[in-house]
């Protein structure tokens, strides 16, 4: 069934859209409120996330699945009543439009303050259900399902799941779809490059493994949970550079201070930020060499081959690092797959502030191209051999 035509909600943007909603494109329910088309609504959701990041304001995305009712009723009049019911239930400052054309209607409830998510959800759902029951009947209303998605996202303290709520980021999936061929080429480069690296560097792996085993107790490889794209957890591999009896509290405290801009290196008389702890007492003698030369990270070529990482991309954070992030910092694990090397590694490595590091990661995600990856890969050996900023 085709749905009747709707116009943009804004009176200044009177552009008719495909996928009808009302019989008459110029018709409204008397409130002057119109339904945004899918592309416009997704753009507004993107802008609302950015605004919420800057102003530290929370919002809720309500998704109304009307598909079962549309297939059951087959009437444009029913759809008009759905729109009217939603307009009666939400505020003038809220944004309404197609989240998925002809299937899902989205409502962005802006600036919800400090109210608990459950409180907001219960109150809004009650108002919407009452309006549906009044204008459609309880039987038809029961065919409509409603879901709620809050931004910024919240995770349980100590929980293992930091996955992003994909409902809040439809623009990212659309962007990936538009770059499907280029991303496929990037993956092909990752497979070929990591395979060659694993083969050619095999002698170095053996020497590093032997040095680690002869100089300290414990396994050769260090396994740690990291967060990949969209916050999906995976196990990263590194050559072990620290003793096995170490307390991670030292690093947790350091990370917290660094992210909040309270860590400086004044060893040479110049205040400069450092991303890693200098003269870390937990690091072994062999570990210091591995870190200085970045050899501790070469097992991550296996992560690249598996698809957890890419050759080029932001560094994957530990969960407790991620929980310390500001809202806008989180975008570095959303917008592109993590990598072994990246723009900040070839620009300043451990010598730049955390906010600047995030800006470089976001700049890379926005400007990404295969040519940019190649330029970063070419510059990486020089950054590694110079050792500047490596600890």
| Residue 6 confidence (pLDDT) | 34
Q: Considering the domain boundaries, does residue 75 fall inside one?
A: yes
Contact indicator for 326, 52 with CB cutoff of 8 Å: no
CA 261 – CA 194 distance, rounded (Å): 35
95 plus 189 within the same structural domain = no
Q: Which residues of 1-37 are buried (b: 16+ CB within 10 A; e: fewer)?
A: eebbbbbbbeeeeeeebebbbbeebeebbeeebbbbb
148 plus 182 within the same structural domain = no
274 plus 353 within the same structural domain = yes
Burial class (CB in 10 A: 0-12, 13-18, 19+), 207: exposed
Segment 139-161, tens digit of pLDDT: 888 889 999 999 999 877 666 78
Q: Considering the domain boundaries, does residue 12 fall inside one?
A: no
Beta strands 59-65 and 145-151 are: antiparallel
DSSP 155: -
Q: Considering the domain boundaries, does residue 162 fall inside one?
A: no
Q: Give the number of residues written for the chain.
A: 391
| Residue 283 confidence (pLDDT) | 84
225 plus 145 within the same structural domain = no
180 plus 148 within the same structural domain = no
Containing structural domain, residue 354? 176-386
Segment 70-113, tens digit of pLDDT: 776 666 788 888 889 999 999 888 999 999 988 999 999 998 88
231 plus 308 within the same structural domain = yes
| Residue 347 confidence (pLDDT) | 80
CA 264 – CA 258 distance, rounded (Å): 8
Written as six digits, the tokens of 162 are: 């930091």
Query: Rounded to the nearest 10 degrees, what angle do helices 370-386 and 180-200 cross at?
Result: 30
What's the total number of domains in the chain? 2
Of the chain, the end-to-end C-alpha distance in Å amounts to 62
81 plus 224 within the same structural domain = no
Q: Considering the domain boundaries, does residue 86 fall inside one?
A: yes
In CATH, what number is assigned to the domain containing residue 53? 3.30.70.270
Strands (E), the chain: 59-65, 95-100, 104-109, 145-151, 221-227, 233-239, 310-312, 339-341
335 plus 197 within the same structural domain = yes
Q: Considering the domain boundaries, does residue 161 fall inside one?
A: no
131 plus 260 within the same structural domain = no
Selection from 67, 76, 73, 65 nearest residue 137 by Cα? 73
| Residue 353 confidence (pLDDT) | 84
Q: Which element (helix H / strand E) includes 173? A: helix 170-178
Q: Considering the domain boundaries, does residue 364 fall inside one?
A: yes
Low-confidence ranges of the chain (pLDDT < 70): 1-33, 72-75, 157-159, 262-280, 348-351, 386-391
269 plus 210 within the same structural domain = yes
181 plus 94 within the same structural domain = no
CA 146 – CA 85 distance, rounded (Å): 13
Before 323, cis peptide (omega within 30)? no
| Residue 154 confidence (pLDDT) | 85
| Residue 354 confidence (pLDDT) | 87
What SS3 string covers 82-116?
Answer: HHHHHHHHCCCCCEEEEEECCCEEEEEECCCCCCC
| Residue 349 confidence (pLDDT) | 57
Q: Considering the domain boundaries, does residue 247 fall inside one?
A: yes
Q: Considering the domain boundaries, does residue 21 fall inside one?
A: no
pTM greater than 0.85 (yes/no): no
Selection from 72, 110, 105, 106 nearest residue 91 by Cα? 110
| Residue 23 confidence (pLDDT) | 37
Distances (CA, A) of 168 to 49, 113, 162: 9, 18, 14
148 plus 240 within the same structural domain = no
390: left (phi over 0), alpha (psi -120 to 50) or beta: beta
């Amino acid at each position: 069934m085709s749905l009747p035509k709707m116009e943009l909600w804004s009176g200044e943007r009177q552009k008719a859209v495909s996928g009808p909603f009302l019989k008459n494109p110029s018709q409204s329910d008397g409130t002057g409120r119109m339904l945004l088309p899918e592309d416009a609504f997704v753009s507004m959701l993107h802008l609302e996330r950015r605004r919420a990041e800057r102003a530290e304001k929370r919002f809720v995305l309500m998704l109304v699945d009307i598909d079962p009712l549309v297939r059951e009723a087959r009437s444009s009049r029913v759809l008009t009543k759905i729109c009217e019911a939603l307009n009666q239930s939400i505020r003038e400052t809220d944004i309404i439009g197609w989240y998925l054309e002809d299937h899902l209607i989205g409502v962005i409830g802006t600036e919800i303050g400090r109210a608990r998510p459950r409180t907001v959800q219960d109150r809004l759902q009650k108002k919407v259900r009452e309006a549906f029951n009044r204008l459609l009947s309880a039987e038809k209303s029961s065919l409509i399902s409603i879901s709620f998605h809050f931004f910024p996202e919240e995770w349980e303290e100590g929980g293992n799941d930091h996955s992003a709520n994909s409902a809040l980021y439809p623009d990212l999936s659309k962007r990936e779809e538009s770059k499907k061929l280029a991303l496929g080429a990037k993956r092909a480069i990752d497979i070929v490059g990591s395979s060659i690296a694993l083969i050619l560097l095999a002698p170095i792996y053996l020497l590093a493994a032997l040095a680690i085993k002869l100089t300290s107790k414990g396994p050769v490889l260090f396994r740690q949970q990291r967060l990949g794209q969209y916050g999906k957890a995976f196990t990263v591999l590194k050559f072990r550079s620290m003793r096995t009896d170490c307390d991670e509290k030292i690093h947790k405290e350091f990370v917290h201070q660094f992210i909040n801009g309270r860590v400086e290196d004044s060893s040479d008389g110049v205040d400069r930020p450092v991303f890693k702890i200098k003269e870390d007492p937990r690091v072994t003698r062999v570990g210091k060499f591995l870190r200085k030369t970045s050899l501790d990270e070469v097992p991550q070529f296996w992560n690249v081959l598996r698809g957890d990482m890419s050759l080029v991309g932001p560094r994957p954070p530990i969960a407790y690092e991620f929980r310390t992030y500001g809202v806008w910092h989180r975008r570095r694990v959303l917008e592109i797959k993590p990598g072994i090397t990246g723009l900040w590694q070839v620009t300043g490595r451990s010598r730049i502030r955390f906010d600047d590091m995030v800006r470089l990661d976001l700049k890379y995600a926005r400007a990404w191209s295969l040519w940019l990856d190649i330029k970063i890969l070419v510059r990486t050996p020089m950054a590694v051999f110079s050792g500047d900023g490596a600890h």
